[in-house]
Amino acid sequence: MIFQKIKGVFIDGKKDLCKKSPLKEYLSPKYVYIPLLQRTSNLKAEVKVGDEVKVGQVVATNEQQMNVRVHASVSGKVTAIKKVWHSSGKMVDAIEIENNFQNQLTESIKREENVDSLTREQLIKKMELAGITGLGGAGFPTHIKYKTKAKIDTVIINAVECEPYLTCDYHFITTYPEKLLKGATYMMKAADATKVVIAYKINNKQIREAVQPFLPKFPHVELFPVKNVYPAGWEKFIVEQVTKKTYNGLPAEAGVIVNNSATAITFADAVEMNIPLIARPISITGEGIKKPGSFYVPIGTKVSELVELCGGYVEGLDPLKYNYIAGGPMTGRAIFIDDLVVNDTLGAVIVKPVIEGLHPECLGCGKCADVCPAFLTPTEIKKAFERKDIKLLSDLNANKCVECGLCSYICPSHVEITEAVAKGKDLLRKGAK
Ligand code: SF4
Ligand code: SF4
């Protein structure tokens, strides 16, 4: 394959809205709602209404699909199984737990006495038991990546967070820099690799300043600044930058495993304290939020409570003139905030003004193809999708779209081109079965 270098595009970050205030903890909501959906896995509830649960207790599983397990994020009583909005844009069943505010921990949460002697297999088992998933948005069960048979030499920690508005990874790293290095080191051992590279955006010098003082204790870890462009946080972009290698399928082909920084920090707690994935950082931000901020919250927290903690919406906000987005503005989904709950992949909720003056005719300028990091021709894919031409979708490599949103962002005519390409990719996937 001819190696084509991914360029990326500079995008106004809008991160200052949220960046200056520190990460706040909001650990005791009155109720949490644990979604019975993780990525594409429907989960089976392992508890019923009326059961008492402790923090860290397994409450839902899917043993058929990658042995997914999900844990209670507060202690208390299961009061209902009810529908809530999920960041996937669907309503899903969720286990409602009423918090008893006693923070009773399940028996398995305790300090690990033999951290340094844990084997690769034991570390991977801990990932699995703790239900660790990719907190950067992918939600893929982490232990599956580490069971690879490929020879891995480098674990790359993705601390790039390249989409505009998002700052939860930034806040999590600058609050817990040593935990990041510990979690990354445990990942390196779990991969049988010899080094860790933490990739961050060059303009985020605060990340370097936070991590650097701890580096002497972690000589196998290095910091790697990447350009301030989008999509610099895309796995393939980072692997290319760090290793000068590319791949077709998975980063393991280039001898690499990539994990998000929040996943590494969460894994440090799983290794040292046997704490499963029960909480995550999230940014509540955008021009429509009075005091944007980042929070560390239990999985299942209602987003509306976090909006209240931000002082609510700006005065006189006209809901019709704002978009409510779960996730980043480039890759997220339109949602209803009030019933949305925090799940493992939800790193942000954004309230931003609607773009005025939509004019959806294609001008044929070719800018979308110029910026596409996967080297696709989005307009041709859109046409192939509209004609339901599976063969052409395949010839145009629609399956290579990473849904980064850059084609829509760059389009001077505001054509919803990403959506059309994503639908074409989906049609190709279904048609190819
Ligand atoms: S950027 Fe927009 S207007 Fe230009 S070719 Fe692509 S879809 Fe058409
Ligand atoms: S959304 Fe897909 S087609 Fe559009 S720029 Fe990104 S990778 Fe290319």
Mean pLDDT for 35-50 is 92
Q: What is the pLDDT of residue 359?
A: 60
Mean pLDDT for 189-202 is 97
Is the Cα torsion angle 220, 128, 56, 90 positive or negative in sign?
positive
Q: Mutual orientation of helices 120-129 and 177-191 as an angle, nearest 10°?
A: 120
Q: Is the pLDDT reported for residue 371 higher than 60?
A: yes
Q: Is the pLDDT reported for residue 12 higher than 80?
A: no
Q: What is the pLDDT of residue 384?
A: 95
Spatial separation of the C-alpha atoms in residues 330 and 225, rounded to whole Å? 22
**Ligand positioned closest to the Cα atom of 8:** 2
Q: What is the pLDDT of residue 318?
A: 81
Q: Which atom of ligand 2 is nearest to the CA of 400?
A: 7
Q: Is the pLDDT reported for residue 65 higher than 80?
A: no
Kindly report the average pLDDT of the chain as a whole number. Answer: 92
**Ligand positioned closest to the Cα atom of 403:** 2
Nearest CA to ligand 2 atom 7: 401
Question: pLDDT band at residue 2, thresholds of 50, 70 and 90?
Answer: very low
What's the fold here for domain 115-273?
A: Rossmann fold (3.40.50)
CA of 337 from ligand 2 middle (Å) equals 27
Q: Is the pLDDT reported for residue 1 higher than 50?
A: no
Q: Is the pLDDT reported for residue 281 higher than 80?
A: yes
Run of H or E including 280: strand 279-285
Question: pLDDT band at residue 5, thresholds of 50, 70 and 90?
Answer: low
CA of 432 from ligand 2 middle (Å) equals 20
Q: What is the pLDDT of residue 137?
A: 79
Half-sphere exposure of 251 (CA within 13 A, CB side): 25
Q: Which two tokens stand for residue 324?
A: 């409510």
Q: What is the pTM of this model?
A: 0.90
Q: For the chain, first and last CA: distance in Å?
A: 26
Q: Is the pLDDT reported for residue 400 higher than 70?
A: yes
Parse the chain into domains and list their residue ranges: 16-107+277-353, 115-273, 367-431
CA of 247 from ligand 1 middle (Å) equals 28
Q: Is the pLDDT reported for residue 317 higher than 90?
A: no
Q: Is the pLDDT reported for residue 259 higher than 90?
A: yes
